[in-house]
Amino acid sequence: MSILNLNLEEAIANARKNSTKRNFKQSFELIINLKDLDLEKPESRIYEIVELPNGLSNKKRKICVIASGDLALKASKTNGIDKVFQKSDIEAIIGNKKMARKIAESYDFFLVESSLIGIVAKALGAALGGRGKRPIPISANQDLEELVSKYSKSVILNTRKNPEIKCIIGTEDMSDKEIKENAEAIIKHLISKLEKEMRNIKSIYIKLTMGKPVKLNLGAR
């Protein structure tokens, strides 16, 4: 079934109507409930990073780089990178669960020099995993500005322990068209990773932060 039949425009409009105006900028959220997945099997778990065509308005993604030498120096001079940790910084927190949790909660994406993946796994692995995040390996010659551009517009799709995907697809100041295109990008990507495609999807909802969820019409599959 084409996702163009999912009445996305109507659902987005209704989500706006179903939300009371607040004194903060609300986010549009996409909730996808899955079925017929055995999450005990690693191959059935979903972990995908999707770049949204229209980004997330000013809903900033916080990016952390963990690197050494020239790559760390280059990262410290790159706009859009919120924090740079050197190898010694990460080694110093091995065994410090409280600090690991604090770091894991502070950033959305962790770009890690490939040679440091093992150290990062020891220091932050459990804290990141518990929050549905993973270190992203990068090489010394990668274009950091290009990576910042990509991840600043990206969201994580992660089933973790439950057959459910929840992610932000924009903010209320964005147009319905922009929200629709972001939602389509996520749904299409997810479908491509599911063994039974649309038949693995039980239901889809769109909502604003403080609003009631609006169910999409999946029709016959």
pTM of the model: 0.89
pLDDT digits (tens, 9 = 90+) for 102-114: 999 999 999 999 9
Asked, for residue 189, whether it belongs to a domain, the answer is yes
Shared-domain flag, residues 13 and 52: yes
Shared-domain flag, residues 157 and 54: yes
Q: What CATH number is given to the structural domain containing 45?
A: 3.30.190.20
End of a domain among 151, 169, 197?
151
Integer Cα distance of 116 and 100 in angstroms: 16
Query: Using 50, 70 and 90 to split pLDDT, how confident is the model at 1?
Result: very low
Shared-domain flag, residues 52 and 76: no
Q: How many domains does one find in the chain?
A: 2
pLDDT digits (tens, 9 = 90+) for 45-61: 899 999 999 999 877 89
**Helix, strand, coil shares, percent, the chain, to 5:** 40, 25, 40
CA 52 to chain centre: 10
Shared-domain flag, residues 141 and 157: no
Residue 134, phi then psi, degrees to nearest 5: -140, 150
Shared-domain flag, residues 75 and 137: yes
Domain of residue 207 covers 3-58+153-215
Asked, for residue 137, whether it belongs to a domain, the answer is yes
Asked, for residue 221, whether it belongs to a domain, the answer is no
